[in-house]
């Protein structure tokens, strides 16, 4: 029996605590223990980006992050972006821009895009490309995803002013 | 990015549909963007076991012995499976459409025929325990000479890759290859102004879906098993599992249909039977999901192919004879390759009307990862070869490559090499539009052509 | 040493459905008491959007808005047999099965409406927004909602239908190969422009212009999704992808996305998609299967463009910088050296 350790986090604004196996990745802990399956395990080796989450404001690959190292951290995943069932502008832009096909890469893409827009609400196409370059998509050819991120930026509230 | 060129074939369509032709939003996409879509692995069950496969490190070897005793003692291990546990261990998936012989082992018994072949399945409480225990399985191998290239495989005296076939190629009812014979190629070559023979090759390609192949099996307690899977074909997987496990179909329930990409990579039946067997023998839920490394090197890729094309062409641009030999590297086992290779035969000579055609397509066995379906199965590499060859022929006779294709393009009513009249052709119109869109001018007479009969 | 531009073309066709046929699919359609429609399948959506397209096909056939149709798929306990999602068969085969099932359900629906309105079923038509009325007399109407309620609770009728589509299997003639591989074909012509760096062998795809003939664009944006993604995959196959870079040598195979190469978001070509629609005689509303074809023509077009740019032929996929450089070197070597 592997040793279990307590991990307390703020997950999408909610305080949560679970026992996880010592050495477990945050990806497996989120999916298996915390019941948040929005981060996907596309490779478990840090090369596809499907597991991307935001930890204390920074984009991280949850498959390369130890769950126990996140004790006390604030974690945001794609499952936590919608507020009162209203989609986040990025989610809306992906949906309206036909930027998801199988959808498996989508939560990771949205996390990478959110991390970008949080830092740079007004990104250039090059910024978007750079931000998405750790995320693999096999279906879309990327262009619709790039367009969706740009559209979400253009639609974001700070523009309204 | 997309433009519908409605001016073409307008006489064949009534554009009055209400629900179709509309760019409605996809009903599944809100789930995708909010992370709520349920893929097979987004489920976990209490007491779930993880399956890790011990795989062959050799391209070709005899198995002298398998010792699982240390692995069984490893903490967290629930069960270790070998070929002895599999009711019908030697199978082939296309047996369902009467394409035999059975030629592949679920778990290797006496021999391994490719590096990565499954030998022993280890089930443990955690992935880590399963992995650690798998490292403790001892398999004693006697390494045998491997055949890795198709040419060597087809040479007389080459080591036999797969004894179930008896020779290193698939034997069709037509013999060593699927054949297409149309007209008289020798006569065509004799008449031709030029003859060009070229060889094209490709290396294996991975489907690389974002989600790796896998399944989760739950015993329902009533001797039925629910298998959550990302197969591309639920009943095909169910029926093959039923054969392998000698378990009547009504005991199996396959659930899926929402998959993170396939591209042909999820049409083999490699995870479900063994996971269901493990669940049956342990009474516990079982998860068997390929690692990315397994997806890349163990799951079947698009086959490597070698294609030889010999054409006879006239100075006026007509191709008068086309001779093709296509070789598909199936790897060690058939899977879908006999099907793919013969799909190639049906595809030649491409979308062109040629009076004399000879095509032979071979499905060849080598000691490599079995290949199988991928997007464009049997056709993608054929098209690469055909269309590069077309470019070479055009340049050989000093003709514009696009105009050269117009001269040879098939039209309605033309007889194809496999003796079906052409129907619904549209190659000419595609080329006309491409000529305009790419600003690649062709002579006016080609812009006036049509795919319709006599056009 | 220079960047050289070249242009190449390729034209292809692609069969719809399993080679030689023999690949059935079934669908069941039924209405709920309030006139919503369920389509039950065992078909698999790999991401191409099969569920949405089947909903639109069912809705078109019954004569209701697509949002009233729910696709229930992926369970062998409830869904009838489907051969699977492969060989560009989904839209064509399953779509035809859905049309047949929906046609049968529509017929019952119209019969019930006819009884309610005391007219002949053959005199009725749907307006596509949820109502049934007498042809030429739109005021004599009943909603599908009320029709379904009547069917369930008053008339004891099941508004439902069964659909099955099978292209009979063809067996190739042994000596000649005479056979019927497919009933319809999609088409494409692609023109690619590349820049080749003759010092490094690196290829940049500048633009790719694809013309695809797909029978019928049942949902143009979804068609676009698949064709754009396919075009990307074609370029990726041409220039990057393999699990065995030194085939037939088995070494050096990639095991992750750092080693297995594909173009990323920073390596995209300017892509244009033009769609022609020549309806297939046996296609659902004319549709063919373009899902595989759309990734094919780019590969030879790239190879031909590279030749146009630097005058070397790479006849072995993928066309890597290494292969180009070797060919350039061989070309530059004095004859006989
Ligand atoms: S699962 Fe973390 S990068 Fe692929
Ligand atoms: S949508 Fe399928 S991998 Fe991106």
- Cα separation values, C303 from B396, C41, C103, C317, Å: 16, 42, 47, 9
Active site residue C175: no
Ligand 2: which residue has its CA nearest to atom 2? A102
Residue A127 has pLDDT above 50, yes or no: yes
Mean pLDDT of A129-147: 98
Spatial separation of the C-alpha atoms in residues C179 and C170, rounded to whole Å: 6
C-beta atoms of C47 and B208 within 8 A: no
Spatial separation of the C-alpha atoms in residues C18 and B378, rounded to whole Å: 11
Residue B162 has pLDDT above 60, yes or no: yes
| pLDDT tens column, B300-317 | 999 999 999 999 999 999
| Domain membership of residue B278 as a residue range | 49-143+208-298
Spatial separation of the C-alpha atoms in residues B410 and B414, rounded to whole Å: 6
Chains with ≥3 Cβ pairs under 8 A against C? A, B
- The partner residues of B151 in beta bridges, in order of sequence, read none
List b or e across B108-120, with b for residues whose CB sees 16 or more CB atoms inside 10 angstroms.
Answer: bbebbbbbbbbbb
The CATH 1.10.150.120 domain(s) of chain A lie at: 89-155
Whether B170 maps to a domain, the answer reads no
B267 and B379 part of one domain: no
- The partner residues of B3 in beta bridges, in order of sequence, read C274
Which residue in the set A48, A101, A136 is minimally distant from C48, CB to CB? A101
Residue A159 has pLDDT above 60, yes or no: no
Q: Do domains C3-15+182-332 and C22-166 have the same CATH topology?
A: yes
Residue A161 has pLDDT above 70, yes or no: no
Question: For chain B, what is the radius of gyration of the CA atoms?
Answer: 26
DSSP-derived secondary structure for B172-239: BTTBSSEEEEES-HHHHHHH-SEEEEEEEEE--B----SSPSEEEEEE-SSS-EEEEE--S-HHHHHH
pLDDT-derived band at A158 (thresholds 50, 70, 90) equals: low
B112 and B234 part of one domain: yes
Which residue in the set B32, B44, B292 is minimally distant from A103, CB to CB? B32
Chain C residue nearest residue B331, CA to CA: C248
Which residues in chain C have their CB less than 8 angstroms from residue B205's CB? 237, 241-243
CA dihedral A4, A9, A13, A15 (to 10 degrees): 70
Note the pLDDT of residue B14.
85
What is the domain partition of chain C in residue ranges?
3-15+182-332, 22-166
Q: Which ligand is nearest to the CA of A40?
A: 1
DSSP-derived secondary structure for B116-145: T-EEEEEEESSHHHHHHHHTT-EEEEEE--
Which of B298, B317, B349 lies at the terminal end of a domain, its last residue?
A: B298
Note the pLDDT of residue B91.
98
Spatial separation of the C-alpha atoms in residues A160 and C323, rounded to whole Å: 52
C240 C-alpha to ligand 2 centroid (Å): 19
The CATH 3.10.20.30 domain(s) of chain A lie at: 4-80
C-beta atoms of B26 and A50 within 8 A: no
Which residues in chain C have their CB less than 8 angstroms from residue B297's CB? 243, 253, 255
Spatial separation of the C-alpha atoms in residues B81 and C124, rounded to whole Å: 63
Which of B273, B298, B323 lies at the terminal end of a domain, its last residue?
A: B298
Assigned CATH topology for domain A4-80: Ubiquitin-like (UB roll) (3.10.20)
B219 and B195 part of one domain: no
A48 in ligand 1 pocket by Cβ < 6 Å?
Answer: yes
C-beta atoms of C52 and B150 within 8 A: no
C321 C-alpha to ligand 1 centroid (Å): 28
A93 in ligand 1 pocket by Cβ < 6 Å?
Answer: no
Inter-residue contact B59 to C248 (CB < 8 Å): no
C-beta atoms of B292 and C318 within 8 A: no
Mean pLDDT of B12-35: 95
B122 and B225 part of one domain: yes
Task: Note whether C131 contacts B: Cβ–Cβ < 8 A.
Answer: no
Element (H, E) at B345: helix B337-347
Degrees to nearest 5, angle at CA C120 with C119 and C123:
100
What's the domain count of chain B?
2
Residue C337 has pLDDT above 80, yes or no: no
Count of beta carbons in the 10 Å neighbourhood of residue B7 = 9
Inter-residue contact C198 to C306 (CB < 8 Å): no
Count of beta carbons in the 10 Å neighbourhood of residue B346 = 26
CA dihedral A30, A31, A35, A40 (to 10 degrees): 110
Which residue in the set B97, B420, B434 is minimally distant from C211, CB to CB? B434
C-beta atoms of A48 and C257 within 8 A: yes
- Helix, strand, coil fractions of chain B, as percent rounded to 5: 25, 25, 45
Task: Note whether C154 contacts B: Cβ–Cβ < 8 A.
Answer: no
Q: Which of B39, B259, B261 to mutate to test the pocket of ligand 2 (most atoms within 8 A of CB)?
A: B261
Note the pLDDT of residue B122.
98
A44 in ligand 1 pocket by Cβ < 6 Å?
Answer: yes
Residue C168, by phi and psi: left (phi above 0), alpha (psi -120 to 50) or beta? beta
B254 and B305 part of one domain: no
As given in the structure block, the two tokens for residue B160 are: 């036999």
Does the complex come out with an ipTM higher than 0.85?
A: yes
| pLDDT tens column, B105-143 | 999 999 999 999 999 999 999 999 999 999 999 999 999
Please provide the size of chain A in residues.
161
| pLDDT tens column, C19-77 | 999 999 999 999 999 999 999 999 999 999 999 999 999 999 999 999 999 999 999 99
The torsion angles phi and psi of B422, rounded to 5 degrees, stand at -65, 135
The torsion angles phi and psi of C280, rounded to 5 degrees, stand at -80, 140
To the nearest whole Å, the CA of C334 is away from the closest chain A CA by 42
Spatial separation of the C-alpha atoms in residues C207 and B93, rounded to whole Å: 41
| Mean pLDDT (chain C, rounded) | 97
Ligand 2: which residue has its CA nearest to atom 4? A137
CATH number, domain containing residue B435: 3.30.365.10
The torsion angles phi and psi of C9, rounded to 5 degrees, stand at -130, 155
A11 in ligand 1 pocket by Cβ < 6 Å?
Answer: no
Inter-residue contact B49 to B278 (CB < 8 Å): yes
B94 and B120 part of one domain: yes
Task: Note whether C264 contacts B: Cβ–Cβ < 8 A.
Answer: no
Which residues in chain A have their CB less than 8 angstroms from residue B259's CB? 102
B188 and B308 part of one domain: yes
- Any idea which residue has 């192919």 for tokens? B305
Spatial separation of the C-alpha atoms in residues B49 and B43, rounded to whole Å: 13
The torsion angles phi and psi of B288, rounded to 5 degrees, stand at -130, 105
A51 in ligand 1 pocket by Cβ < 6 Å?
Answer: yes
Which residue in the set C175, C182, C260 is minimally distant from B208, CB to CB? C260
The torsion angles phi and psi of B396, rounded to 5 degrees, stand at -60, -40
Q: Is the peptide bond before B400 cis (omega within 30 degrees of 0)?
A: no
| Mean pLDDT (chain B, rounded) | 97
A134 C-alpha to ligand 2 centroid (Å): 14
Whether B27 maps to a domain, the answer reads no
Tell me the percentage of chain C whose pLDDT exceeds 70: 99
To the nearest whole Å, the CA of C109 is away from the closest chain B CA by 19
C3-15+182-332 CATH, one of 3.40.50.1100, 3.30.365.10, 3.40.50.300, 1.20.210.10: 3.30.365.10
C-beta atoms of A104 and B211 within 8 A: yes
Q: Residue C230: which of B375, A99, B388 has the closest Cα?
A: B375
Note the pLDDT of residue C246.
96
Note the pLDDT of residue B418.
98
- pTM here is 0.97
Spatial separation of the C-alpha atoms in residues C317 and B435, rounded to whole Å: 26
Q: Which ligand is nearest to the CA of A104?
A: 2
B186 and B252 part of one domain: no
CATH number, domain containing residue B256: 3.90.1170.50
C22-166 CATH, one of 3.40.50.300, 3.30.450.20, 3.30.365.10, 3.30.200.20: 3.30.365.10
SS (H, E, C) chain C: CCEEEEEEEEEEEEECCCCCCCCCEEEEEEECCCCCEEEEECCCECCCCHHHHHHHHHHHHHCCCHHHEEEEECECCCCCCECCCCCCCHHHHHHHHHHHHHHHHHHHHHHHHHHHHCCCHHHEEECCCCEEEECCEEEEEEEHHHHHHHHHHCCCCCCEEEEEECCCCCCCCCCCCCCCCCCCEEEEEEEEEEEEECCCCCEEEEEEEEEEECCCCCCHHHHHHHHHHHHHHHHHHHHCCCCCCCCCCCCCCCCCCCCCCCCCHHHCCEEEEEEECCCCCCCHHHCCCCCCHHHCCHHHHHHHHHHHHHCCCCCEECCCHHHHHHHHHHHHCCCCC
Inter-residue contact C10 to C190 (CB < 8 Å): yes
Note the pLDDT of residue B212.
98
C-beta atoms of C227 and B20 within 8 A: no
Note the pLDDT of residue B32.
98
As given in the structure block, the two tokens for residue C132 are: 């049934």
pLDDT-derived band at B30 (thresholds 50, 70, 90) equals: very high
Residue A3 has pLDDT above 90, yes or no: no
Interface residue of C210, C235, C241, C265 to substitute, partner A, most A CBs within 10 Å: C265
A101 C-alpha to ligand 2 centroid (Å): 5
In three-state secondary structure terms, B256 is coil
- Cα separation values, B175 from B58, C177, C309, Å: 31, 12, 43
Spatial separation of the C-alpha atoms in residues B253 and B230, rounded to whole Å: 13
| pLDDT tens column, B389-448 | 999 999 999 999 999 999 999 999 999 999 999 999 999 999 999 999 999 999 999 999
Spatial separation of the C-alpha atoms in residues B39 and B60, rounded to whole Å: 36
- For B134, residues 6+ apart whose C-beta sits below 8 A from its C-beta are B52, B53, B54, B71, B120, B122
Note the pLDDT of residue B388.
98
Detail the DSSP E strand segments found in B332-430. 357-365
CA dihedral B28, B30, B35, B36 (to 10 degrees): -60
DSSP-derived secondary structure for B278-330: HHHHHSS-EEEE--HHHHHHTS--BPPEEEEEEEEE-TTS-EEEEEEEEEEEE
Note the pLDDT of residue A160.
42
Count of beta carbons in the 10 Å neighbourhood of residue B222 = 7
Q: How far apart are the first and last CA of chain A?
A: 57
Note the pLDDT of residue A47.
98
Spatial separation of the C-alpha atoms in residues A18 and A70, rounded to whole Å: 12
Mean pLDDT of C239-250: 97
| pLDDT tens column, B51-64 | 999 999 999 999 99
Tell me the percentage of chain B whose pLDDT exceeds 70: 100
Strands B225-229 and B252-255: parallel
Which of B254, B273, B298 lies at the terminal end of a domain, its last residue?
A: B298
Mean pLDDT of B180-189: 98
Assigned CATH topology for domain A89-155: DNA polymerase; domain 1 (1.10.150)
| pLDDT tens column, C152-174 | 999 999 999 999 999 999 999 99
Residue C268, by phi and psi: left (phi above 0), alpha (psi -120 to 50) or beta? beta
DSSP structural state of residue B372: B
Q: How far is CA B402 from the centre of its chain?
A: 31
To the nearest whole Å, the CA of A87 is away from the closest chain B CA by 8
Interface of B with A (CB under 8 A): 1, 25-26, 28-39, 41-42, 44, 75-76, 125-126, 128-129, 208-212, 259-261, 263, 291-293
Question: For chain C, what is the radius of gyration of the CA atoms?
Answer: 26
Residue C9 has pLDDT above 60, yes or no: yes
Whether B358 maps to a domain, the answer reads yes
Q: Residue B238: which of B213, B258, B215 has the closest Cα?
A: B215
Spatial separation of the C-alpha atoms in residues C81 and C60, rounded to whole Å: 23
A111 in ligand 1 pocket by Cβ < 6 Å?
Answer: no
Mean pLDDT of B341-366: 98
Task: Note whether A32 contacts C: Cβ–Cβ < 8 A.
Answer: no
């Amino acid at each position: 029996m592997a040793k279990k350790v307590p991990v307390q986090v703020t997950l999408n604004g909610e305080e949560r605590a679970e026992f996880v196996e010592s050495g477990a990745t945050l990806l497996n802990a989120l999916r298996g223990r915390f019941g948040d399956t929005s981060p996907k395990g596309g490779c478990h080796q840090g090369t596809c980006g499907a597991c991307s989450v935001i930890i204390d404001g920074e984009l991280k690959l949850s498959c390369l992050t130890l769950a126990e190292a996140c004790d006390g951290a604030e974690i945001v995943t794609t499952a936590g972006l919608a507020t009162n069932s209203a989609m986040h502008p990025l989610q809306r832009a992906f949906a309206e821009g036909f930027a998801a096909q199988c959808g498996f890469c989508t939560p990771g893409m949205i996390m990478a895009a959110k991390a970008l827009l949080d830092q740079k609400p007004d990104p250039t196409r090059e910024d978007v490309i750079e931000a998405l370059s750790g995320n693999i998509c096999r279906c879309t050819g990327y262009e619709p995803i790039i367009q969706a991120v740009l559209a979400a930026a253009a639609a974001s509230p700070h523009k309204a002013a | 990015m997309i433009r519908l060129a409605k001016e073409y074939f307008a006489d064949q369509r009534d554009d009055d549909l209400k629900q179709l032709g509309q760019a409605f939003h996809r009903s599944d996409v809100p789930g995708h963007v909010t992370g709520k879509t349920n893929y097979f692995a987004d489920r976990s069950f209490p007491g779930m076991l993880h399956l890790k496969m011990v795989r062959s490190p050799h391209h070709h070897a005899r198995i002298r012995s398998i010792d699982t005793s240390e692995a069984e003692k490893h903490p967290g291990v629930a069960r270790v499976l070998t070929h002895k546990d599999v009711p019908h261990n030697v199978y082939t998936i296309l047996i369902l459409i009467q394409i035999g012989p059975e030629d592949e082992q679920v778990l290797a018994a006496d021999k391994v025929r490719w590096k990565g072949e499954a030998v022993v399945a280890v089930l443990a409480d955690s992935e880590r325990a399963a992995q650690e225990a798998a490292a403790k399985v001892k398999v004693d191998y006697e390494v045998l000479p491997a055949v890795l290239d198709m040419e060597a495989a087809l040479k007389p005296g080459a080591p036999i890759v797969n004894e179930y076939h008896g020779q290193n190629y698939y034997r069709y009812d037509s013999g060593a290859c699927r054949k297409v014979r149309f007209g008289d190629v020798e006569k065509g070559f004799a008449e031709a102004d030029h003859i060009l023979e070229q060889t094209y090759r490709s290396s294996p390609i991975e489907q690389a879906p974002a989600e790796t192949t896998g399944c989760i099996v739950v015993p329902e307690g009533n001797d039925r098993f629910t298998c959550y899977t990302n197969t591309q074909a639920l009943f095909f997987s169910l029926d093959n599992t039923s054969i392998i496990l000698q378990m009547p179909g009504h005991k199996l329930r396959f659930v899926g249909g929402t998959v993170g990409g396939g591209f042909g990579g999820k049409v083999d039946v490699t995870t479900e039977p063994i996971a269901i067997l493990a669940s049956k023998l342990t009474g516990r839920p079982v998860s068997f999901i390929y690692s990315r490394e397994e997806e890349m090197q163990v799951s079947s890729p698009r086959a490597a192919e070698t294609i030889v094309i010999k054409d006879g062409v006239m100075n006026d641009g007509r191709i008068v004879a086309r001779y093709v030999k296509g070789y598909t590297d199936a790897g060690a086992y058939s899977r879908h390759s006999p099907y793919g290779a013969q799909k190639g035969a049906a595809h030649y000579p491409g979308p062109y009307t040629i009076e004399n055609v000879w095509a032979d397509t071979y499905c060849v066995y080598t000691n490599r990862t079995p290949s199988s379906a991928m997007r464009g199965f049997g056709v993608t590499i054929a098209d690469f070869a055909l269309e590069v060859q077309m470019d070479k022929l055009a340049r050989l006779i000093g003709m514009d490559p696009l105009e050269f294709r117009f001269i040879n393009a098939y039209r309605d009513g033309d007889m194809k090499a496999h003796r079906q009249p052409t129907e619904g052709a549209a190659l000419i119109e595609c080329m006309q539009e491409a000529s305009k869109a790419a600003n690649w001018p062709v002579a006016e007479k080609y812009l006036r052509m049509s795919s319709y009969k006599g056009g | 040493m220079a960047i050289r531009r070249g242009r190449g073309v390729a034209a292809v066709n692609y069969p719809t459905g399993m080679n030689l046929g023999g690949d059935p699919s079934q669908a069941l359609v039924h209405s709920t008491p309030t006139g919503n429609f369920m389509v039950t399948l065992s078909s698999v959506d790999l991401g191409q959007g099969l569920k949405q397209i089947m909903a639109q096909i069912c809705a078109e056939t019954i004569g209701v808005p697509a949002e009233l149709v729910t696709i229930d798929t992926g369970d062998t306990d409830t869904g009838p047999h489907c051969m699977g999602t492969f060989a560009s068969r989904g839209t064509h085969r399953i779509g035809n099965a859905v049309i047949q099932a929906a046609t049968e359900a529509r017929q019952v629906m119209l019969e019930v409406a006819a009884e309610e309105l005391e007219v002949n079923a053959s005199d009725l038509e749907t307006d596509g927004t949820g109502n049934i009325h007498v042809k030429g007399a739109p005021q004599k109407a009943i909603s599908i909602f009320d029709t379904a309620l009547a069917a369930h609770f008053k008339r004891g009728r099941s508004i439902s239908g069964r659909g099955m589509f099978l292209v009979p299997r063809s067996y190739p003639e042994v000596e000649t190969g005479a056979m019927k591989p497919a009933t319809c074909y999609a088409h494409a012509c692609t023109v690619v422009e590349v820049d080749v760096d003759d010092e490094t062998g690196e290829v940049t795809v500048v633009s790719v212009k694809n013309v695809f003939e797909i029978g019928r664009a049942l949902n143009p944006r979804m068609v676009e999704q698949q064709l754009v993604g396919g075009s990307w995959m074609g370029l990726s196959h041409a220039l990057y992808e393999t699990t065995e870079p030194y085939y037939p040598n088995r070494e050096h195979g990639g095991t992750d996305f750092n080693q297995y190469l594909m173009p990323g978001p920073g390596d995209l070509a300017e892509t244009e998609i033009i769609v022609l629609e020549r309806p297939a005689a046996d296609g659902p509303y004319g549709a063919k299967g373009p899902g595989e074809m759309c990734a094919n023509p780019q590969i030879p077009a790239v190879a031909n463009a590279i030749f146009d740019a630097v005058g070397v032929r790479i006849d072995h996929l993928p066309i890597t910088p290494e292969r180009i450089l070797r060919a350039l070197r061989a070309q530059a070597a004095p004859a006989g050296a």
